[in-house]
Amino acid sequence: MQENRMPPPKIVYLDSYTVNPGDLDWGPLKALGQVFLYERSQESEVMARCAGAQILLTNKVPFDGARLAQLPDLRYIGVTATGYNIIDIEAARAQNIVVSNIPDYGTDSVAQHTWALILELSNRVGAHDRSVKAGDWSRNPDWCYWQSPLTGLAGKNLGILGMGKIGQAVARIGQAFRMQVLFHSRAQKDFEGAKWCTWEALLENSDILSLHVPLLPETEHIIRAESLARMRPQAWLINTSRGGLIHETDLKKPWKQDKLRQRPL
């Protein structure tokens, strides 16, 4: 008697270069079905490539309800990132499509990058490196040379919006610099050596404010004119989360007034 077997699922990865620039083995994935790997996908190519797929992997290629409606065979979307705002979750739920993300993959690297930005602002390593290589120090009459004063971090208030795993990693590094850590999260929680406060208090008391929340309807443009007005005049704003957290037009206004001069985004 011939055994009826389900055909292997069609698995499509639309932007595979984001996770594998060439040094990883796709063998384990290919063992699961018919795998179609596309390093990059143009908008005009997306739907044709996804046709008939049961499994879809994407890092930054978005899928709204209109796109999902054209994929009746789709059963699973794997977002190979922490943020999943590129997927219309309600539309996926309505079509019984399971969606997952990878919440932990970038915890240490994002925290490290956050502090690379903060330390560049405090020590101006990049600017001084270029200046020294240009010969400015060798022409300087004094042994001590700097283009701008350094900023000590010890004792300053580090404000963190979002105390998930990345926010906690950023907080621990801040504590190593002997900073006072303040944070706001939806659920009031305990974190050793840090103080939970309201969103308004976080804005008003942070010398450095670092954003670590997902882009959701309730967090979109959470940094806007009203919140910027509450911040300290010389505060630093660091955003290593989604750009949509900040209302960019409102951000330009305090910049013109020489406020919030340091804003790595």
The domain covering 10-100 belongs, at the CATH homologous superfamily level, to: NAD(P)-binding Rossmann-like Domain (3.40.50.720)
Question: What pLDDT does residue 26 have?
Answer: 95
Reported as a pLDDT band with limits 50, 70 and 90, residue 258 is: low
Task: Give the chain's mean pLDDT.
Answer: 91
Write out pLDDT tens, residues 86-132: 999 999 999 999 999 998 888 999 999 999 999 999 999 888 889 88
Instruction: Determine the Cα angle at 262 with ends 259 and 265, to 5°.
Output: 120
Question: What pLDDT does residue 2 have?
Answer: 54
For the domain covering 107-137+150-256, report its CATH number. Answer: 3.40.50.720
Closest CA to 262 of 208, 219, 216: 208
Tell me the C-alpha distance between 83 and 240, whole Å: 12
Answer for the pair 263, 121: CB distance below 8 angstroms, yes or no.
no
Question: What pLDDT does residue 28 have?
Answer: 95
Instruction: Determine the Cα angle at 51 with ends 46 and 53, to 5°.
Output: 105
Mean pLDDT along residues 47-66: 97
DSSP string, 181-250: EEEE-SS----TTEEE--HHHHHHH-SEEEE-----TTTTT-BSHHHHHHS-TT-EEEE-S-GGGB-HHH
pTM check: above 0.85: no
Write out pLDDT tens, residues 139-159: 988 888 888 888 999 999 999
Question: What pLDDT does residue 27 have?
Answer: 95
Question: What pLDDT does residue 259 have?
Answer: 53
Question: What pLDDT does residue 129 have?
Answer: 84
Answer for the pair 30, 71: CB distance below 8 angstroms, yes or no.
no
Reported as a pLDDT band with limits 50, 70 and 90, residue 3 is: low
Mean pLDDT along residues 9-26: 93
Sorted by where each begins, the domain ranges of the chain are: 10-100, 107-137+150-256
Write out pLDDT tens, residues 203-239: 999 999 999 999 989 999 999 999 999 999 899 999 9
Whether residue 193 is predicted with pLDDT greater than 90 in this model: the reply is: yes
Which long-range contacts does 101-110 make (Cβ < 8 Å, 24+ apart)? 103/164, 103/165, 104/165, 105/81, 106/81, 106/82, 106/166, 107/165, 107/166, 107/169, 108/169, 110/166, 110/169, 110/212, 110/240
Whether residue 17 is predicted with pLDDT greater than 60 in this model: the reply is: yes
CA 146 to chain centroid: 32
The SS3 call for residue 99 is strand
